[in-house]
Structure 1
Amino acid sequence: MSRFIALLLIVVPGAIAAVGIKLMRDTLFDFLNPPFPWIWLQFVCGFVFALAGVSFIGGWIYYRDKKRNYSYREKRRNKINNGISKRQ
């Protein structure tokens, strides 16, 4: 059950980001959707939706990697240190 909840927590912000991208695309092609009275407001809302969705998913991945100690910098530092020690 917890995996299903986690999946929903990722799918919902992904859907919000997709809607935001769709709103920005519709603005680019000059198509005004019904709840928005002005085209610029549609683009701003789409940008906010896309930014919020992508930010949430990015934060989720960052938090998960930090919790499991998946650090790119640590792996790179260890790789460099191991390479130097093998040469000597």
Structure 2
Amino acid sequence: MARLAALIVLVIPGILAAYGIKLMRDTFFGISNLGTAPLWFQFVLGLALMVLGIGFFAGFLLRRDRKNGRVSERFKEKKAKSD
């Protein structure tokens, strides 16, 4: 059950990122998918969806790999110094 929940958590941002790429591609070819919204807004929305989707996916993988100890030294969390 936990693997299915993790899959769903990763699929939703992936779909949003793919839709963002589609919006940017359609803007490049002059196709409006948002009705009367200007094309520049469609491009910005697509860029935001793509960055958020990929960023969420990358953050999820980094967190999981940190927990399992599979990251290089530069990606490990630094311990806070106590004064």
Give TM-score scaled by structure 1 length: 0.79
Residue matched to 1:86: none
* RMSD between aligned residues: 1.4
- Which letter maps to 1:37? A
Q: Tell whether the 8 Å contact from 2:20 to 2:46 is kept in structure 1 after alignment.
A: yes
Unpaired runs of 5+ residues, structure 2, are: 75-83
Tell me, yes or no, if structure 1 residue 49 matches structure 2 residue 53: no
What is the alpha-carbon distance in structure 1 between the residues aligned to residue 7 and residue 25 of structure 2? 27
Residue matched to 1:72: 72
Q: Percent identity?
A: 41
What is the alpha-carbon distance in structure 2 between the residues aligned to residue 68 and residue 38 of structure 1? 46
Give 1 or 2 for the bigger CA radius of gyration: 1
Instruction: Check 1:70–1:40 CA distance in 2 against 1; reply closer, same or farther (3 A cut).
Output: same
What is the alpha-carbon distance in structure 2 between the residues aligned to residue 37 and residue 48 of structure 1? 16
Tell me, yes or no, if structure 1 residue 31 matches structure 2 residue 28: no
Unpaired runs of 5+ residues, structure 1, are: 75-88
Q: Tell whether the 8 Å contact from 1:36 to 1:42 is kept in structure 2 after alignment.
A: no
Greater helix percent: which structure? 1
Q: Tell whether the 8 Å contact from 1:27 to 1:42 is kept in structure 2 after alignment.
A: yes
Residue matched to 1:82: none
Once the two structures are superposed, the pairs formed by residues 8-23 of structure 1 within 5 Å of their partners are 8-23=8-23
Instruction: Check 1:16–1:36 CA distance in 2 against 1; reply closer, same or farther (3 A cut).
Output: farther
- Which letter maps to 1:8? I
